[in-house]
Structure 1
Amino acid sequence: MARKALELLKRTVWLACLGIAGHLNVARADGSQQVQFESAAVLPTPFQARIAQQSGQVLKARPGTPLIGYLTRPPGEGPFPAVVVLHGCTGLFPSVRKSWSERLSSWGYVALFVDSFSTRGIRETCDHRGLLADRVYDAYGALEFLSKLSFVDPRRIALSGSSAGGTTTLEAVQAGGAEQLMERKFKAAIAYYPNCSAANGDMAVPTLILIGELDDWTPAQKCQAMVAEHGGKGAVQLEVFKGARHAFASPGLKTGKEEYGHRVEYNAAAADQSVSDVRAFLKRAFSG
């Protein structure tokens, strides 16, 4: 009972902070603002609800998890299109957040970088995928949060992620998955070096996948096979960069290194081309 009371108190305090501080809380040195929101509530699937009903039970939604994020916006009143960004299995790096937030803002987009680890007390998840399902609901919680901001166009919000965040991105927009349970939908999706074996390739929105030819952590061959088998559904665009490895868009890995038994290395040519691909893709997706 004492433990439940403590958890209830923590949650009450968190929600009170949300109400007092409003949407925008702490201005950062890099121009972003720290914000607080919750992951989307986990709803029972129609099948789960039907089975429960047959046995006289009523399934309730699992409440969302408190999260923090970092928000940047272009100058002006908007409303602007926006991008939700999910980090990889090692967490949210300030340098990556800074470079991409400045880039997206210069293109005219609001950006919300979701920190899925801090409030959960997690440092990394590279050895397992246990948090993948929860992070899908983090993405939809971020979508809900952005959709209520006056300077964001709720009809034009894309989801983007890299590595484990890229895998989560594919899972989040996969037709027939969690997206069918959500009232609000993403307009498009971008996945850097995702694990394509975790997705069936049937995407509910236009999806851009960017991956290195020599990636030995999330092999490009898995993405090529997925697109070959299901490429006709969901308008999946796959870009495979020759000579590039996992994390090719991370400038901090210019010398390359081994992580968890895999080679990660920056590739300037692939990184630059991928940025151009992302910009063109978002322009097309948001113009529709």
Structure 2
Amino acid sequence: MAQGARLLRLRKRIVWLTVVAIHLWAAHANADELVHFASAAAKPTPFQERNAQQNGQVLKALPGTTLNGYLTRPPGEGPFPAIVVLHGCGGLSPNVRKTWSERLSSRGYVVLVVDSFSTRGIKDTCGRLLADRVYDAYGALEFISKYSFVDPQRVALMGFSAGGIATLEAVQLGGAEQLMERKFKAAVAYYPNCSATNGDMAVPTLILIGELDDWTPAKNCQVMMAQRSGQGSAVQLDVFKGARHGFDSPGLKTGIEVHGHRMEYNAAAADQSISDVRVFLQHVFREP
């Protein structure tokens, strides 16, 4: 009996240690790691180079800026598909850095959230656009693609608000993407200002926006879709009824006014958009 009791206690302890180990492993997988990398060099376009040559000038690429980022990876060796994430004009929010990082990594994606502001000494860009963010995206792509646990052929770009604008600009057909050696596989833009692009994209693109968004109106995206030339990859626009700017952010349940615009969480729109993103990424990455 004594030996049987000891064996039972030993088995229980092994089970307990296994549970703890799994818990710690999962916690480590969802923990973000501070990393540093450079934005891509801003190269002159062929048009700019031709103009410079006609004027006897030589244009050089502008060096990139050192940036901070937060890397989150799922457990295992991979290689995994990956998502580069761009925050909004107000900087890193808990929704982008934590909620979305954990959500995506739990589904098997390596996630790199780019901090475009801290090393530049910027508080916000809500009154202007920061064109350099397109190069931030490609610098992040170059950086993350060198990890052995990342599949460099399956990296998507995802952005929110101003980060969504930068996302669309980064993958616009014939834009900065043609100057870059590495390419994104797909793009996801939450509530961007669609008037900043002509809608022709180099990669499959998903745009998610609220019907009642008074900061980046859904109408601009609908006009963009109607005026697209049809060149490039497929673009999917999802407009969520009754939803406003920031509808996916649980921290905005009571709603707030920012720079004269309403931001508010909408559970139904958030849940549907998350499902749409999951299906979209599974399709473009050819996942089962």
The 3-state SS of whatever aligns with 2:238 is strand
Deviation at 1:30, TM superposition (A): 6.2
* Aligned residue pairs, count: 260
For the residues of structure 1 that align with 2:229 and 2:271, how far apart are their CA atoms?
A: 25
- 1:264 paired with 2:254, answer no
- Bigger shift: residues 249-258 or 109-118: 249-258
- Bigger shift: residues 189-198 or 42-51: 42-51
| Aligned partner letter, 1:178 | A
- 1:273 paired with 2:276, answer no
| Aligned partner letter, 2:171 | V
The 3-state SS of whatever aligns with 2:159 is strand
TM-superposition CA deviations, 1:28-51 (whole Å, max 9, x none): 996110000000000011111122
Please point out which of 154, 157, 175 is paired with 1:156.
154
Q: Is the 8 A contact 2:206 2:280 kept in 1?
A: yes
Q: Is the 8 A contact 2:73 2:109 kept in 1?
A: yes
The equivalent residue for 2:22 is: none
TM-score, length-scaled by structure 2: 0.87
The equivalent residue for 2:49 is: 49
Structure 1 residue ranges (4+ consecutive) displaced by more than 4 angstroms after TM superposition: 27-30
> What 5-or-longer segments of structure 1 have no aligned partner?
1-26
| Aligned partner letter, 2:272 | Q
Q: Is the 8 A contact 1:253 1:266 kept in 2?
A: yes
Deviation at 1:94, TM superposition (A): 3.2
Tell me: CA distance 1:277–1:96, structure 2 relative to 1, closer, same or farther (3 Å): same
| Aligned partner letter, 2:162 | A
Tell me: CA distance 1:231–1:44, structure 2 relative to 1, closer, same or farther (3 Å): closer
> What 5-or-longer segments of structure 2 have no aligned partner?
1-26
The equivalent residue for 1:79 is: 79
TM-superposition CA deviations, 1:59-111 (whole Å, max 9, x none): 11100000000001111111110000000000011343111111111111000
| Aligned partner letter, 1:164 | A
The 3-state SS of whatever aligns with 2:74 is coil
Matches within 5 A, 1:15-164: 31-129=31-129, 131=130, 133-164=131-162
| Aligned partner letter, 1:94 | P
Q: Is the 8 A contact 1:213 1:220 kept in 2?
A: yes
For the residues of structure 1 that align with 2:111 and 2:65, how far apart are their CA atoms?
A: 21
Larger radius of gyration: 2
| Aligned partner letter, 2:191 | Y
- Bigger shift: residues 229-238 or 201-210: 229-238
Q: Is the 8 A contact 2:214 2:244 kept in 1?
A: yes
For the residues of structure 2 that align with 1:59 and 1:258, how far apart are their CA atoms?
A: 44
For the residues of structure 2 that align with 1:134 and 1:28, how far apart are their CA atoms?
A: 32
Deviation at 1:55, TM superposition (A): 2.9
The equivalent residue for 1:252 is: 251
TM-superposition CA deviations, 1:213-240 (whole Å, max 9, x none): 0001000011011111217332000000
For the residues of structure 1 that align with 2:28 and 2:148, how far apart are their CA atoms?
A: 21
| Aligned partner letter, 1:235 | A
| Aligned partner letter, 1:283 | Q
Q: Is the 8 A contact 1:248 1:265 kept in 2?
A: yes
For the residues of structure 2 that align with 1:90 and 1:120, how far apart are their CA atoms?
A: 14
Q: Identical aligned pairs, as a percentage?
A: 76
For the residues of structure 2 that align with 1:167 and 1:51, how far apart are their CA atoms?
A: 28
TM-superposition CA deviations, 1:238-267 (whole Å, max 9, x none): 000000001100111101111111111000
Please point out which of 191, 195, 198 is paired with 1:197.
195
The 3-state SS of whatever aligns with 2:104 is helix
Tell me: CA distance 1:231–1:213, structure 2 relative to 1, closer, same or farther (3 Å): farther
| Aligned partner letter, 1:79 | P
Q: Is the 8 A contact 2:87 2:114 kept in 1?
A: yes
| Aligned partner letter, 1:106 | S
| Aligned partner letter, 2:235 | V
| Aligned partner letter, 1:237 | Q
The 3-state SS of whatever aligns with 2:34 is strand
| Aligned partner letter, 2:96 | V
- Bigger shift: residues 48-57 or 215-224: 48-57
TM-superposition CA deviations, 1:145-196 (whole Å, max 9, x none): 0111111111100000010000110000000110111111000000000000
Tell me: CA distance 1:242–1:189, structure 2 relative to 1, closer, same or farther (3 Å): same
Q: Is the 8 A contact 1:175 1:204 kept in 2?
A: yes
